[in-house]
Structure 1
Amino acid sequence: MVEKHSIEVTTRTLVESMVREDATIDAGELYTVANALGMTDQQVRLCIRRLVADGQFTQHGRGRKAVLHATTATMSALAPDAEFVRYMFDQDRGAADWDGCWHLVAFAIPETARAARDAMRDGIVRLGGAPIQGGLYVSANAWEPHLDALTAELDVADHVTTFTTADLHVGGTDAPRRIAARLWPLDDIAARHRRLLDFARRTLRRLRTADLTDTELLTATIELAAEFTRAMEPDPLLPPQLLPQPWAGTKARRVVAECWSLLVAAETPAPPRLFRAYAEVISDVIVHAGHQQVS
């Protein structure tokens, strides 16, 4: 019997997580994993209908014998951002030290382009930027290539200014760690990492001590990826010099890497695409760490 966990995996997240390298999903496997996660067949059917109606997937066949095919656009949107995953692990092992430089972007996009203005703001936040005041955002990382791509996509380059400084004062302080604590919700981010650490430790114990079925291994993979993503998405990837120490994310990611190395070794048949994408990055982390075991 599959051990039940408190990890929140939405039906949509499950479906998207089950996409294989060839852009397909085996519906029978999808329903089996969904049931193991406590979802009903009806929940899965309704989710599939919405995704097909939205043009994100096509369906061939019915019920558990169906095969879903993700569109090219869907495959592109679902690709885990390996660059950022690799960077966070580089930070953890001291291979991406901060140079003391703040990277800023300012924009004043007119009301007539409100949609682009909103998309610009959302894109900056996704890149880890924090607002200082209206239209002015800061990051501790060199994000200019990503900003250039964002402004080009939105066609707003004429309204955007980027610059860097090593002399930043915010709210009366120029102390980098105080600035970081003021601008980013570090308590909430740390809480997400502690939750990830708790789940990853439980998963690691199961992987080390239990003889798990293919369904249990796949369920553990999806739950771990979902919790990892939940902790990763709001994390601005601040350098260690700007974070409270010890930082919860560092320990959490080490345990996740150890879990992933065991899942890779288990050779789950037809693993999802996200498994392969994360595994390639985290396998490199394991190599760099000298296959260090984490308890």
Structure 2
Amino acid sequence: MIGAPISTRSLVESLLREDATIDAGELYAVAEVLGMGDQQVRLAVKRLVTEGRFTCVGRGRRAVLTATDATRADIEPDRAHVELAYAQDRGEAPWDGVWHLAGFAVPEAEREARAVLRETIRALGGGLVHGGLYASAHAWEDELRGAAHAIGASEFLTTLSTADLVIGGTRGAAAAQRLWDLDDLADGHRRLADTAAEALDRAPHAAHPERLALTVGLVAAFDRAHAPDPLLPPELLPRDWTGARARDLARRAWSTLAAAEADSPIRLLRWFDAPLQPH
């Protein structure tokens, strides 16, 4: 097994080439390395075509899938998130000491709007201060106001910023540890580090399908580690934060895999090139 389990749908989308197509023969070969059977892949492709996410010409391993415009837009990586993570690791994004807070009080009759606001805040890495009030170390006002406006809930959203956030008598890094479960986040990064180390060890001797499988597994592990990560600045994290080490291993693994697959048109091998580079 390469890293944690990967869904067949994620595998299919990961093998998109620069021309928005997927070579089914390559798909089945990589799926085999990941322990997926042909029937599992066929069913996933059929569902994706039925949902209108891909079109398909041909059958079986000779088929060619083409992503629809909506699919291409959906599976682009969050480059800004990746860029911020690596910029912080390089010391290029020092924290200004400002906390950004957001709160909402939504009537019961508008509970759907309440759910949207809560999920938007969580997706942006908000830490729960207390009921209805969340904090972030990063400016998020534009995204929150945009989401509230889109659902007609602007009147329910409150935002403010402060350089003096005190939670239960704690400030700074101690306050951050009360807002986010750093142990859980660290576990996710340790799993990423293990996946990246495995990729580095296996890539030089791997065949083409295995290298692609290693790339898919690496990106999946990166996404799992970073989806819940608020990307706290180093000033709010423990020393020798495992996230920075994991990202460095991931960067080295990506570079190794991309160099070994220099002629491959798979977009996944190039997606993170720019965010990983110093500016």
TM-score, with structure 1 as normaliser: 0.88
1:96 counterpart (90, 93, 96): 93
Q: Does 1:35 align with 2:32?
A: yes
Indicate the SS of the match to 1:203: helix
Aligned match of 1:151: 148
Indicate the SS of the match to 1:155: coil
CA distance in 2, matches of 1:65, 1:73: 24
Per-residue deviation, residues 204-257 of structure 1 (Å, max 9, x unmatched): 1223xx333221221111111111111111111001111121100001111111
Q: 1:123 to 1:273 in 2, by over 3 A?
A: farther
CA distance in 2, matches of 1:274, 1:114: 38
CA distance in 2, matches of 1:203, 1:127: 29
Q: Does 1:142 align with 2:136?
A: no
**RMSD of Structure 2 on Structure 1 (CA):** 1.8
2:197 counterpart (196, 201, 220): 201
CA distance in 1, matches of 2:66, 2:117: 31
CA distance in 2, matches of 1:272, 1:134: 45
CA distance in 1, matches of 2:216, 2:143: 28
CA distance in 2, matches of 1:72, 1:113: 33
Q: Does 1:118 align with 2:143?
A: no
CA distance in 1, matches of 2:223, 2:41: 21
1:246 counterpart (234, 237, 240): 240
CA distance in 2, matches of 1:267, 1:199: 19
CA distance in 2, matches of 1:117, 1:230: 26
CA distance in 2, matches of 1:127, 1:281: 19
Aligned match of 1:258: 252
Deviates more, 1:127-136 or 1:232-241: 127-136
Equivalent residue runs for 1:63-74 within 5 Å: 63-74=60-71
> Cα offset for 1:174?
3.0
> Cα offset for 1:265?
1.9
Indicate the SS of the match to 1:105: strand
Equivalent pair of 2:3/2:217 in contact (CA under 8 Å)? no
Indicate the SS of the match to 1:161: strand
Aligned match of 1:182: 178
1:52 counterpart (49, 53, 60): 49
Q: Does 1:15 align with 2:9?
A: no
Indicate the SS of the match to 2:77: coil
Q: Does 1:165 align with 2:162?
A: yes
> Cα offset for 1:6?
4.3
CA distance in 2, matches of 1:278, 1:65: 29
Equivalent pair of 2:2/2:213 in contact (CA under 8 Å)? no
> Cα offset for 1:31?
0.9
> Cα offset for 1:139?
0.3
CA distance in 1, matches of 2:150, 2:24: 35
TM-score, with structure 2 as normaliser: 0.93
CA distance in 1, matches of 2:106, 2:65: 40
Tell me, which stretches of 5 or more residues in structure 2 are unaligned?
none
Aligned match of 1:291: none
Indicate the SS of the match to 2:101: strand
Tell me, which stretches of 5 or more residues in structure 1 are unaligned?
289-295
Indicate the SS of the match to 1:277: coil
Q: Does 1:24 align with 2:18?
A: no
CA distance in 2, matches of 1:60, 1:116: 42
CA distance in 2, matches of 1:91, 1:143: 17
Per-residue deviation, residues 115-166 of structure 1 (Å, max 9, x unmatched): 3321221111111111222221110111223223322333322221211011
> Cα offset for 1:268?
4.2
Q: Determine what percentage of the aligned residue pairs are the same residue.
A: 49
Aligned match of 2:187: 191
Indicate the SS of the match to 2:22: strand
